[in-house]
Amino acid sequence: MAFNFPDAPTIGDGYGAYTWDGEKWNLTPVGTPTITSAAAVSVNENATLAHTLTANEVVTWANVGGADTGMVEIASGNIVRWTGDTTRNFESPADANTDNVYLITIRATDTDGNPRTQNLSITVLDVGDETAPVVTTPPTVAGAATEGATLTGTNGTYSGSTPITFEYRWLRATVAGGLGTIISGPTAASYITVTADIGFWIFRDERATNAFGNSGWISSSNDIGPITSAAAGDVLLLADGVSRLLLANGIDRLLLAGTTVAGPTETLTDESGETLTDEAGNPLLAG
């Protein structure tokens, strides 16, 4: 089968040459550099990008436009990479129309100042990383081994598809590193120890979950204990997070919300700064 297309326009010798792109003739002026690197490349998701730009002569490269010009940069003179040398995730496209094809325009300029541009497309490939979370670093807990102390857990790190959410439970063990019994009720990231914890070791389990499954319960790499009784003069934050319990001279006192304790021998004040007194009008002391 023969293909017919219009004859190329004629111009004076030395000005350049025409090429047919299937729709129209394009003039390439004499002296304009030719970009020899591919105009379309692909890269796996979660992998770095390193596309080498080449031309038929010495040129200076620049990223000059395109819908996704801010998503890439040119490093080491001629290497196209993701901005900041980061990666891209197929499930979270960041290109202008979220189709995982990033469009930029590059320009090559030779030593005589002659420019040539190329529209470059970079396609991010899905490599099938849709997996449930798998722990890579276990969680930890921190806090004082004292009744009424707040223990705070730090999430572990996990591989697997994002986003990842977490559930928590707290446990008591009779020995450090031992099997624990689940404490009924607490499911927050932190936990306030209570009288029932005295003598036990406390640790936290967490379960990481995404759209493809969960990690199962993962225990913290350490535990806190054995938990000891609060001493006279200690101020304990109750589980309701509002009231405070003061142990002074062997007597437990329930303090109203906003009550502050300045020191073991100073007076107690309410949230407005007024001194608290007993029925006889004597100021209440912190110790």
**How high is the pLDDT of residue 286?**
53
pLDDT over 80 at 31, yes or no: no
pLDDT over 50 at 230, yes or no: yes
Task: Please give the share of the chain, as a percent, with pLDDT higher than 70.
Answer: 73
The least confident of 22-31, 83-92, 117-126, 192-201 is 22-31
| pLDDT tens digits, 68-95 | 999 999 999 999 999 999 999 998 999 9
Domain boundaries, the chain: 32-125, 134-219, 231-287
Residue type at 122 in one-letter notation: I
CATH code, residues 134-219: 2.60.40.2700
Matching CATH topology for 32-125 and 134-219? yes
Mean per-residue pLDDT, 120-148: 91
The least confident of 142-156, 165-179, 202-216, 264-278 is 264-278
Average pLDDT over the chain, rounded to whole?
A: 83
**How high is the pLDDT of residue 12?**
44
pLDDT over 90 at 161, yes or no: no
Residue type at 186 in one-letter notation: P
Q: Going by DSSP bridges, is the β-strand pair 115-125/40-44 parallel, antiparallel, or unpaired? A: parallel
**How high is the pLDDT of residue 10?**
53
The least confident of 2-11, 68-77, 222-231 is 2-11
Mean per-residue pLDDT, 12-24: 63
pLDDT over 60 at 45, yes or no: yes
pLDDT over 50 at 159, yes or no: yes
Residue 197: pLDDT band (50, 70, 90) is very high
Which one has a higher pLDDT value, 224 or 4?
A: 224
**How high is the pLDDT of residue 269?**
65
**How high is the pLDDT of residue 232?**
56
* pTM of the predicted model as reported, rounded to 2 decimal places: 0.47
**How high is the pLDDT of residue 278?**
63
Looking at domain 32-125, its CATH architecture is Sandwich (2.60)
Q: Alpha carbon of 7 to those of 12, 15, 275: distances in Å? A: 16, 18, 101
Residue 251: pLDDT band (50, 70, 90) is very low
